Structure 1
Amino acid sequence: MDQKCKILVAGDVRGNFKQLFSRVESINKKAGPFDMLFCVGDFYSKDNNDELIAYRNGYKNIPVPTYFLGPTNAETNRQYDDNESEICTNLTYLGKRGLYTSSSGLKIAYLSGIESTGKESHAWNFTKEDVVAVRDSCFASKVSLSDYRGIDILITSPWPEGISEDKSNSSKLIAFLAKEIKPRYHFCGMNDKYFEPPPYRNPGDETTQLSLATRFISLAAVGNPEKQKAVYAVSLNPVDKMRVMDLIQKTTNEIASPFSNIDFSMYKRKQDTESGKQYFYDLNKRDDRPRKRRGNNDGSFEKRQRPTYDQESCWFCLSSANVEKHLVISIGENFYLALAKGPINSTHALIVSVTHIQSAALLPDSQWKELEEIKESLVNYFKEQDQVVCFWERNYKCSHLQINAVAIDAGYSWKIKHGFEDKAEEYELTLDELPKLTNAADLPAQGPYFVAELPDGTTLLTKQMKRFPLHFARDVFCTENLLNCEEKVDWKQCCLSKEEETELVQEFRKNYQLPRA
């Protein structure tokens, strides 16, 4: 039987980092080990956050990988750095919105901030578009909505409207999101009290015929004087691995959905996008623009909006409305193979996850096995043509797993490692040499990384990603010693016509298909 994933959730921390992590360490020793800690509500305080310095500097350790939501007001917004997601070891800012998939397959949807009033929008506000993006990311992996089973956890800062007669710090948009995605658990903060009503039953609808239950839990602030519950522990099997009978099983104290009398007509779902659609542009495009801080008349600077990834228009999601189906080479169960946009050569392909997952480090064992089978099939395919293939992944400034595969003549195989080493020296990067990857745990679970798997079985890895050159691997292969096509370092400079792309895909398809389960 699959081992359950053990999760901790904390209420508003408000700068009480020492108290939180001491409490978590104690819980972890008694009932752990826990896999993750999620913090809802305000993580930073408005002014005093000095307790975090010791953790940033490495003098103190955070006992469990910790993820927190974004700001809920202008004062705490000042504590967030636009470009910073990994604050220190075991501490990560999730971002504005998204769907986090753990290595065990647990799905956690998250939404930062408070609902926008519509008059103006700030970094600490979310809108209908943000809510729809989170909802659609939860649906994206399904062939049809009829097989939807819900997700494991939803974390937000405000409460959903309707859950209580007290409407302070509540949101109608969050109520709509909870109704749509049907989480097994919904955790909130901000109201300075622990509140756990009986679970409510979500009636079947156009999303799913299954009648699924949700447990709503609001947590008190860390260090609250009334000593109300501020940290909650839950142990779950991922929803996709559970039996349907277990999902729909009822308890004696259930209540009806608190959202049944709320009018959500203004949020009705648009026509579902056609299954099987992909858009294969390189994610470098959103990062190549120069970044400038805009000055105000008073000499101050306006903070840039933190980047968000709208999975409704994600270039790699099956649910994307922007489609270039002619780039698809083959589709498997959890991955598909596509011609790279602006390919280095005719063999340059992308292995892309069907579901919206950020990196290979987060893949469950079953999907990792399938990924390895795909890589092996490509190795064998190119071997028949007296070529070797190199795979690389850049988990940096991108939101969707994509692994590049490029094949070159076998006689040049020995030059690949030297090419990476030379470019690393040029860019002042340190590449660690590792043995062949065996599972997702071999990759960094926290923070960005770059990894290259060479034909000789060597793996090169770096977590030194500050100002990492986005075209690093392309730069290696385009050098004079390898493919001698330096004009192709930037993919935008070597885009092909649709006719040329179609011809390359058809040629690839003649002799290759992804392995089937």
Structure 2
Amino acid sequence: MEPKQKILIVGDVNGNLKTFFARVETVNKKTGPFDLVLCVGSFFGSSPEVTELNEYKSRKKCIPIPTYILGPKNEATSKYFSVSQDSDICENLSYLGKRGIFSTSCGLKIAYVSGTEAEHADATKAPEWQFTKDDVLAVRDSCFASKSNMGDYRGVDVLVTCQWPIGIRDEVKNGSKQIAWLANAIKPRYHFCGLNGDYFESPPYRNKPDNNTQMELATRFIALADFGNKEKKKNIYALNVTPVDKMRIIELIQKTTDEIISPYATITFGEEQKGSRGNRSDQYFYDMNSYDDSRGNKRKSQGNRISGNFDTKRQKPSFDQEKCWFCLSSGTIEKHLIISVGEHFYLALAKGPINDTHILILSITHIQNASLLSAEQYAELNKFKSALAQFFKDREETIFLYERNYKTGHLQINAIGIDNNVAWKIKHVLEDKSEEHNLTLETAELPSSPADLPQKTPYFVAELPDGTMMFTKQMKQFPLHFGREIICADNLLNCEEKIDWRQCNLEKEAEDAMAQSFRESFKPYDFTI
């Protein structure tokens, strides 16, 4: 497995240093260890706890994790950086600088731009807390500097800025065109920013190929609220990431069904690009109920372009059977993973499987979730569940099934076997993990019809060995890997390194062999033959 970096990103600290460092220490002990902390937005604020900072400078107190901060946002905060330009403020607290690229020991590349966009086009008139087009061009060129061949650029891992980009969200009126242009040019896998006092996570957006790369790289944009805000908006984000240069290309271009097109596709600087390396530009939450396959309705795409005056119209994701990963008629489906095909459902080996019997039950046509099934479709779904349950029972295992109707456009139910000796712990693990994520799970009898599932709302449902189900409709900021966290828990399959499916990807030959082996083993239970 490739090395990963575990980092924390935090919103505007605004001078609340004592509380901030205490919180970082608590998070690090509970869910760490983390390799570093990145702070976006304003770190010192207008009146930082200078006495507290002096205690860290004198080493009376220790900062638990290497912490990197961006520069001032205005004149009032600039004085705290006057003696700290591009240097350590104290042990484990460093100012990154006005702009640049920061590389970690394992190869993670972090691009950054401090401050807010300059009001004057002339860089000589811009104060130190404002960046200019020369700054963003310098960052762009630094990202490309290590690439000897045109077209082989893979993007950077993280972009951190103080200011939001223009165009990412209609409600933000003080976004920066230059930050938007930079994000479009360097194509970060993650872009974090602050300053607006709000939390917002966009659907991942797909960057268009250009002169520097022919790959359709994706970016996830996350804006964080102020640290310690009274509304308890999200202000800390944990990221466990493999450096982009150590990832396989298929992982970089892997698509998800909730993607949107890039909101920056038409942004240019014009003449200032002359003489620079070419960079021509020729995926959080969609409404889970705006698609209903049973009525034959599909989303209608709207334009999502930014015109010269930056008026925007948001595009809602479109779920096209020809492009969906899971529709059997799709040209993108990986057919070597298919195990069995019925009238309405089929079985396939899970992508990035936890083990060699980790199976998905999928609808053949584009149906969003099980609550939308007809009686006939639901009957066949239960036949596949029963066949798999018997298959696992004969292996002295108990089947565990779950469905996540959130941030996915196609019905998919995970099925995996849990050793009979520990299967009774499934409910306890569900309870523990839900408490860890501040989720409330309800218990009910197993559904006898689609109407027994949560209607017209996102949901997560897990079926338990005792004939009950546990479910939640509390889906705001729901952890996408929650189901795999349960399976991989140390008191069930004990393989927490497999929680992220992307870390379990196999070569096609290995997938083919695994699917073929399961296909043969499942034949006695396959009612479709």
Q: With the length of structure 1 as denominator, give the TM-score of the two structures.
A: 0.51
Could you tell me whether the CA contact under 8 Å between 2:141 and 2:277 is conserved in 1?
no
Distance 2:231 2:127 in 1: 33
Of 182, 196, 203, the residue aligned with 1:198 is: 203
Could you tell me whether the CA contact under 8 Å between 1:99 and 1:134 is conserved in 2?
yes
How has the CA–CA distance of structure 1 residues 247 and 82 changed in structure 2, closer, same or farther, with 3 Å as cutoff? same
Could you tell me whether the CA contact under 8 Å between 1:19 and 1:222 is conserved in 2?
no
Distance 1:178 1:163 in 2: 11
How has the CA–CA distance of structure 1 residues 148 and 25 changed in structure 2, closer, same or farther, with 3 Å as cutoff? same
Determine whether 1:75 maps to 2:80.
Answer: no
Could you tell me whether the CA contact under 8 Å between 1:139 and 1:145 is conserved in 2?
no
Q: State the match for 1:25 in structure 2.
A: 25
Q: State the match for 2:7 in structure 1.
A: 7
Letter in 1 for 2:64: P
Distance 1:146 1:245 in 2: 16
Q: State the match for 1:386 in structure 2.
A: none
The alpha-carbon deviation at position 26 of structure 1 amounts to: 1.3
SS of the equivalent of 1:160 reads coil
Please give the per-residue CA displacement for 1:361-420, whole angstroms capped at 9, x wherever unaligned.
Answer: xxxxxxxxxxxxxxxxxxxxxxxxxxxxxxxxxxxxxxxxxxxxxxxxxxxxxxxxxxxx
Bigger RCO of structures 1 and 2 (CA < 8 A, at least 6 apart): 1
Letter in 2 for 1:37: V
SS of the equivalent of 2:37 reads strand
Within-5 A mapping of 1:108-127: 108-118=110-120, 120-127=125-132
Q: State the match for 1:61 in structure 2.
A: 62
Letter in 2 for 1:113: G
The alpha-carbon deviation at position 270 of structure 1 amounts to: 2.4
Of 181, 187, 193, the residue aligned with 1:188 is: 193
SS of the equivalent of 1:235 reads strand
Letter in 2 for 1:190: L
Please give the per-residue CA displacement for 1:73-104, whole angstroms capped at 9, x wherever unaligned.
Answer: 00001111235521111000111111001000
Letter in 2 for 1:21: F
Could you tell me whether the CA contact under 8 Å between 2:16 and 2:48 is conserved in 1?
no
How has the CA–CA distance of structure 1 residues 168 and 61 changed in structure 2, closer, same or farther, with 3 Å as cutoff? farther
Could you tell me whether the CA contact under 8 Å between 2:136 and 2:182 is conserved in 1?
yes
SS of the equivalent of 2:192 reads strand
Could you tell me whether the CA contact under 8 Å between 1:199 and 1:255 is conserved in 2?
yes
Determine whether 1:106 maps to 2:108.
Answer: yes
Of 233, 238, 259, the residue aligned with 1:228 is: 233
Q: State the match for 1:278 in structure 2.
A: none
Distance 1:121 1:108 in 2: 25
Determine whether 1:154 maps to 2:191.
Answer: no
Distance 1:209 1:75 in 2: 44
Q: State the match for 1:451 in structure 2.
A: none
Bigger shift: residues 67-76 or 81-90: 81-90
Please give the per-residue CA displacement for 1:31-65, whole angstroms capped at 9, x wherever unaligned.
Answer: 11110101011111212333322212212211110
Bigger shift: residues 137-146 or 40-49: 40-49
Letter in 1 for 2:83: D
Aligned residues: 273
Q: State the match for 1:346 in structure 2.
A: none
Distance 1:170 1:220 in 2: 15
Letter in 2 for 1:222: F
Distance 2:191 2:126 in 1: 25
Distance 1:267 1:241 in 2: 33
Q: State the match for 1:45 in structure 2.
A: 45
How has the CA–CA distance of structure 1 residues 93 and 181 changed in structure 2, closer, same or farther, with 3 Å as cutoff? same
Letter in 1 for 2:48: N
SS of the equivalent of 1:151 reads coil
Could you tell me whether the CA contact under 8 Å between 1:15 and 1:44 is conserved in 2?
yes
The alpha-carbon deviation at position 3 of structure 1 amounts to: 2.4
Could you tell me whether the CA contact under 8 Å between 2:9 and 2:39 is conserved in 1?
yes
Distance 1:9 1:98 in 2: 18
Distance 1:227 1:60 in 2: 27
SS of the equivalent of 2:38 reads strand
The alpha-carbon deviation at position 205 of structure 1 amounts to: 1.1
Distance 1:167 1:118 in 2: 21
SS of the equivalent of 2:80 reads coil
The alpha-carbon deviation at position 181 of structure 1 amounts to: 0.3
Could you tell me whether the CA contact under 8 Å between 2:208 and 2:265 is conserved in 1?
no
Alignment RMSD (CA, Å): 1.5
Letter in 1 for 2:215: L
Distance 1:147 1:269 in 2: 21
Distance 2:218 2:272 in 1: 22
Distance 2:32 2:157 in 1: 20
SS of the equivalent of 1:215 reads strand
How has the CA–CA distance of structure 1 residues 195 and 269 changed in structure 2, closer, same or farther, with 3 Å as cutoff? farther
Distance 1:208 1:69 in 2: 29
Bigger shift: residues 11-20 or 237-246: 11-20
Please give the per-residue CA displacement for 1:283-335, whole angstroms capped at 9, x wherever unaligned.
Answer: xxxxxxxxxxxxxxxxxxxxxxxxxxxxxxxxxxxxxxxxxxxxxxxxxxxxx
The alpha-carbon deviation at position 21 of structure 1 amounts to: 1.3
SS of the equivalent of 2:206 reads strand
Could you tell me whether the CA contact under 8 Å between 1:199 and 1:254 is conserved in 2?
yes
Could you tell me whether the CA contact under 8 Å between 1:168 and 1:191 is conserved in 2?
no
Letter in 1 for 2:240: S
Within-5 A mapping of 1:46-445: 46-50=46-50, 51-84=52-85, 85-118=87-120, 120-268=125-273, 270-272=275-277
Distance 1:94 1:158 in 2: 16
How has the CA–CA distance of structure 1 residues 13 and 269 changed in structure 2, closer, same or farther, with 3 Å as cutoff? farther
How has the CA–CA distance of structure 1 residues 271 and 93 changed in structure 2, closer, same or farther, with 3 Å as cutoff? closer
